[in-house]
Structure 1
């Protein structure tokens, strides 16, 4: 017998916790019964409301509520599950973000709906809620929600997933640069959170990690040091007295971070101010000396929270040698030389390769090459050891090839072996590519749950855009297509591009969807939520971490306004040229705006709209949902000439912006800013001929890397280029990425130090032999 449907609670009334638990238990006693989808979603939201109004302190009564939510999320279809998760979190946020409400920590039990979701799915939901909170005055809702979450952490131990959710919410605020909110609310709650950290068993590991994350992020704040100073000895003593491994780890992390806080404040002081500081924090300093700081804590590398406009900390004084090393051309290998020079000055990437990937196939070879490029005594380096193992098998020695395709192949190769060991690795065997494309698209139409689908036949290639295209993540190899090239499609190109933005389609049955709010992009009367797979960017991949982004494509029927959305990973954006520039010349920024602008789909490109039941005109646009740390732009300077069967170059007048902005979903009208630091130039008139070289900036100094010849330059070099020398691949660094210093030879791992020293020894012996042989 089904539970009789009725309202669980009326507005502005209180409900006894025991009565709520009994009602939920009635539904749990009928395991084969669940309400219909819409009723089930409403029931879940009503339970959240009931918990916010419930009285009583018998927290064991919450077990039946947990059981109900777990039964719901584990037994419904994945699409409905994500709707329920989103609805529950949305309802929860509506209460905790109200500065006037007083929500008890028992409400956090509803976070059990996150059970089974990975970090990416949890982050996606947190981002969505933070975006909703941006509409409030002065971020009042965001402040209130963060304050409530902190309060629950130090006063409640009944929700295992609370720490994971608080961490996701903090990271979402960081992504949206809500540093004033993070600073103010965290400082208000820091003392209580820090004391809770010092009571082993009070906080779960995930919650303790949140407190340490907060502490590390506040390490430049004098107020933070003052709030914890008197309690450091107590907290460290309690952690040291606890025998659990987790307490030992928390102890070392706290020691390292507090020591970093003290060092940061002491470093600029001299004389009397320094002595005054030491006197004030004498007990704290002696306590830290007793416990001994280390250098390993990962939390120390978190970027500190700073109010907007505050300058960054002084950069590390250790810099790479001023002398630059070129790469010998081994027979039309300029397309590879140019890519490696650009990746070398991508400092976060090249440093990670050298410092962390010395026991990984192909990565270790690249690390050796990078180390020699930085510390070789010779200014002309032979890259054959690296090129012989990474060169694609379909690339021939004496033919010109595409540097963009080599870069794409290299990324796939590296990601395929990212978690392998190079012990006894056989480089003579052909590489096996495993880093395939992982993309799922799901659409959920307004009201009727119908999606806009592309037609099969007419308009089947409507998803291909004349605006540009995505570089895919192929599972085996990246071959240069014949006929219509992936780099073709300049002026007026539409269909036929093998790397074009994909058309929208309904989600596959095995897709895991999560809700993303796109209300700001919808007509007021047709607002809805769209469901997506959240496992796009591989969190365990340095390639995706640094170069991967997520593109959101939307198609809207112009008749009924129902929409479909698709979500795709990209590692570069390929930008085509419009027929007529709006200004006197093209610019990188204008090509980006053209790429993301609305596009009319009509004629042969009409869409089959399920809501309308026929072919309809539609509008198509894209936004960047997740912006990469390093943005790679490929300018589609080539078009295929069928008469002569050659990819000829489009030599447009072009302004190469030193900084660009990306239209993003999360920023809601704001943009992610990027600065240009490298460009691969193609000199020639066709894709199959000519020469590649690199313009790159390192430590604020531009250089031209023309194979083995390296010369000084400046950014005005872009305006001096010959008409047939056109920037082809542009590398931009996101504005929140501080340029890291290149490691010195002494900082490199021993294996690399030995390789570089052996290389330099061989070079010096060769120079000495030549010198001695002279008459």
Structure 2
């Protein structure tokens, strides 16, 4: 295993050597156009994201020397504005790519940005109208680097400035998601003197802004005592500064999030030892994410509900999302679930949280549209809401079923087989799933066959010559016996041929919440087209 480990790390250093040689070749060549040079540097930046950091001491030392050489060559080459812009664009494309997980070595490109120009770099990113999904991936990547890499001084300031820029653009949902993922890792790094000045401001910023929900604060609770103790023992100016800031902030947060009996007892006792200031509450006198008083958008309506913005004839999607949100059983199951490895599920969870707690007048569900647009649904066109609902629920069910099955399979040790996932194990099936029994009978021999299927909706047709039917009338029509004759004969296994018969359906396990789809279209043999039925349906 030691030999294999050595070979892998040698290959990583070889990759860095190739980058150095490529940069040297670029510097030797003359007469290259700026556009051609820009493309070469873009490829070099993306290649840096593939270089893993070695762990063996001798390889690591050489790796850092090579990194410094690459950094110097980049700084010299990118003094020209056009190369600088191309390099930064490649950096953003790398950190925002949903398919890649670039290595922190790519972060050395950040050293091209003068500290004072970081706000302009962030402004450039936000003005390019990148999608919310792209912005979130970029910030997640930067925070991941910040939690692992301490040799890019500009990284922490860039993360902080990026967060502030997203806050100004009302991307609170992105900030909350990133804070939830990384606050614990970043907080534990505050004990390191070498990166405290880079990580500390980010940690303080997150904890001060997360005033709408105690999740970030509660994530770091188990580590607070040891972190404060380490800061106290270091006795440096920076350690004492952050000790002072944290003590006051934690006192304020404990009072800001009451209603947790016994949870703060040990922390309160610890903080009193460090003598918090009398005016510690003032530390939370700042803008809070999802705070109505600082929201530049129109506040929510008098009804207390948050709307969804139309993204171009997306009424079909918005109506489905609002209906699902108002289905309390499904909404609570989504919000309480921990299936955070599924992109669509996580985005729906974030949207439901914002619909419940946001003070905005409306939200834009771009990410849901990007992840759950059914095949054939053209942007800007009108589409069927029931078709979108079925596709959305299918994806949610299949993704959760797949994740659950994989985790169950991986946890089985020395067992010959597993029972698999039950029908109501997913959030979708547990909320909307039922079972229906279909009995088919042959008129010739009397043989009956039975089949039980799962369902998540009932598609109700309209009887002929029935004006303004009730829901119960349509349900009765759906469940009435169906004659199997003519072109729709029944194949009898006993008679071994097509025979006349009868089919009856009966719900044997009702869903906790029933989805009914009204089939408002019927084929007109005269015009040979689908015609819309304009009948009303009464609720009885």
TM-score of the aligned structures, taking structure 2 as reference length: 0.47
Structure 1 or 2: larger helix share? 2
Determine which structure has the larger strand proportion and give its number: 1
* Structure possessing the higher relative contact order (Cα contacts under 8 Å, 6 or more residues apart): 1
